[in-house]
Amino acid sequence: MWLSAWGLSGVGTFFLLFAWCSSSFTVKLLVMYTRSLIAPDHSFFLFGPRSTGKSTWLRSSFATALWHDLLRSDVYLPLARDPSLLRRRVLALPPGSMVIVDEVQRIPALLSEVHAIIAERADAYTFALSGSSSRKLRRMDVDLLAGRVFERQFFPLTTMELGEDFDIARVLQFGTLPKVCAEPQHAVDILEAYVHTYLQQEIQQEALVKDIGSFNRFLEVAAIMNGQIVNTAGIARDAAVARPTVQRYFSVLIDTLIGSWLPAWNPRIKVKEVAKSKFYFFDPGVVRALLGMLRDPVEQAHRGPLLETLVYHELRAHMAYAGIGGKLSFWRTPSGGEIDFIWSRGGRHLGFEVKVSSQWRREWGAPLKRLCGEKALDAGFGIYLGADELRDGSLHILPFETFARRLAAGELIG
């Protein structure tokens, strides 16, 4: 049977669909992953990278909504010519109706129409506005909807959403995009298509890139630097592009939600700290696709940054889905002391150190112990690939899956 993940809400649901193929009917079983995001009862933006399951989750959550898929030319072209068409369509609906505009960044002018409807009809209609880029929306003053439309984020599948399909070796190799997880036999083709048709074409259009070769070189160098402190001058040299161009390319990756900055944390203790930020792509599989390594086993040197990428993803997704807020950062000193992730909210700070090993070594927890002892951290956690949950003084050492389970249960941060 052919498997395809749509990332829908709803627990353990399965559907049988029939498709015409080669003069016969072929049964297709669609696996439905349960997503953790709870639909708000208010108009909202839904931002997330392409192919993370936003559209499918919206269709599942709002089955009777008036739908506008701006990736379809028959929908896009009439609205691009006359954005007020959206307003006329919505006002013809009965009060209480739900309206979805998918990939709204393709026609940012529609936000003005949504604003006018909300201003005139108050809460008569509810809108879900999804997008995989905030670049164009910022230029069109998306703030005009501030306070009227909530914001939600969407991510690839988490460990708990994958459930029994989770396999750490496979996740580090191919990531957790829903279609990749549900069609493992096509993982390489799916990820290569994602990189070529989306990252190297659509993002090039967003960046107004004239030199395609320079952007491709930048992407490869940026993937090599995934999880490392960014030296813009060094990347410019390695990618053979100007430093301002590298800065602009990074901005495009941030705006299109393909990556994010992890800033340095400054606890203001008596030690000199590194101040530059790290950069992480949103998915381990996308990193390996950019490096052209999908057909090869994961090299030991790459496993550490890939596991960090996965932990970063789990933390960000939980913060967004559970609505706990806070900020993530990292801590490092020039002498080599480091903590991979620090979650902060208000005066509370929790540290997480990630190691791609089946055995935990006590020296790895030294920076965590130090900052806990100085009261700069409220608690410290080690995350590794072993099987046993351990205690090392004040530190909690957790196998990755235990970390993911306890995180999702709200037992670690919040």
- Name the CA radius of gyration of the chain, rounded: 22
Residue 413 domain-assigned? Answer: no
Average pLDDT, the chain: 87
Q: Which two tokens stand for residue 182?
A: 């549900």
CA distance 207 to 408: 36
Do residues 181 and 139 both lie within one domain? no
Do residues 261 and 401 both lie within one domain? yes
The whole-number pLDDT of residue 196 equals: 87
Residue 321 domain-assigned? Answer: yes
Helix (H, G, I), strand (E, B) or coil at 44: strand
Q: Contact at 8 Å (CB) between 172 and 227?
A: no
Do residues 72 and 181 both lie within one domain? no
The whole-number pLDDT of residue 273 equals: 59
Q: Inform me whether the pLDDT recorded for 315 exceeds 90.
A: yes
pLDDT digits (tens, 9 = 90+) for 233-252: 999 999 898 999 999 889 88
Residue 125 domain-assigned? Answer: yes
Which of the four pLDDT bands, split at 50, 70 and 90, describes residue 28?
Answer: very low
Q: Contact at 8 Å (CB) between 78 and 85?
A: yes
CA distance 69 to 402: 39
Residue 199 domain-assigned? Answer: no
Do residues 50 and 163 both lie within one domain? no
Do residues 66 and 137 both lie within one domain? yes
Q: Contact at 8 Å (CB) between 89 and 55?
A: no
| Amino acid in position 241 | V
pLDDT digits (tens, 9 = 90+) for 274-309: 678 999 999 999 999 999 999 999 999 999 999 999
Q: What is the CATH number of the domain that holds 15?
A: 3.40.50
The whole-number pLDDT of residue 294 equals: 97
Which of the four pLDDT bands, split at 50, 70 and 90, describes residue 161?
Answer: very high
Q: What is the CATH number of the domain that holds 360?
A: 3.40.1350
Higher local confidence (pLDDT), 235 or 270: 235
Q: Contact at 8 Å (CB) between 38 and 23?
A: no
Do residues 283 and 174 both lie within one domain? yes
Q: Inform me whether the pLDDT recorded for 112 exceeds 50.
A: yes
CA distance 219 to 292: 11
CA distance 222 to 195: 14
Residue 231 domain-assigned? Answer: no
- Domain boundaries, position 86: 2-153
Q: Inform me whether the pLDDT recorded for 392 exceeds 70.
A: yes
Q: Inform me whether the pLDDT recorded for 25 exceeds 70.
A: no
Do residues 139 and 273 both lie within one domain? no
Q: Inform me whether the pLDDT recorded for 165 exceeds 50.
A: yes
Average pLDDT over residues 26-49: 79
CA distance 86 to 89: 5
Q: Among the listed ranges 24-38, 41-55, 82-96, 193-207, which one has the minimum average pLDDT value? A: 24-38
CA distance 105 to 111: 9
Q: Which two tokens stand for residue 154?
A: 């969407």
Do residues 333 and 265 both lie within one domain? yes
pLDDT digits (tens, 9 = 90+) for 121-156: 988 999 999 998 876 676 555 556 767 889 999 999
Higher local confidence (pLDDT), 17 or 88: 88
pLDDT digits (tens, 9 = 90+) for 85-94: 999 999 999 9
Q: Inform me whether the pLDDT recorded for 27 exceeds 50.
A: no
pLDDT digits (tens, 9 = 90+) for 322-373: 999 999 999 998 777 899 999 999 999 999 999 999 999 999 999 999 999 9
The whole-number pLDDT of residue 16 equals: 29
| Amino acid in position 190 | I
Residue 84 domain-assigned? Answer: yes
The whole-number pLDDT of residue 81 equals: 97
Higher local confidence (pLDDT), 162 or 200: 162
Higher local confidence (pLDDT), 387 or 21: 387
Higher local confidence (pLDDT), 33 or 139: 33
Do residues 58 and 112 both lie within one domain? yes
Share of the chain above pLDDT 70, in %: 86
CA distance 32 to 30: 6
Do residues 317 and 336 both lie within one domain? yes
Do residues 24 and 80 both lie within one domain? yes
The whole-number pLDDT of residue 316 equals: 98
Q: Which two tokens stand for residue 322?
A: 């559970």
Q: Inform me whether the pLDDT recorded for 24 exceeds 50.
A: no
Residue 214 domain-assigned? Answer: no
Number of domains comprising the chain: 2
Do residues 55 and 117 both lie within one domain? yes
Helix (H, G, I), strand (E, B) or coil at 51: coil
* Residues near 112 by beta carbon (within 8 Å), at least 6 away in sequence: 83, 140, 144
Which of the four pLDDT bands, split at 50, 70 and 90, describes residue 256?
Answer: confident
Q: Inform me whether the pLDDT recorded for 164 exceeds 90.
A: yes
Residue 176 domain-assigned? Answer: yes
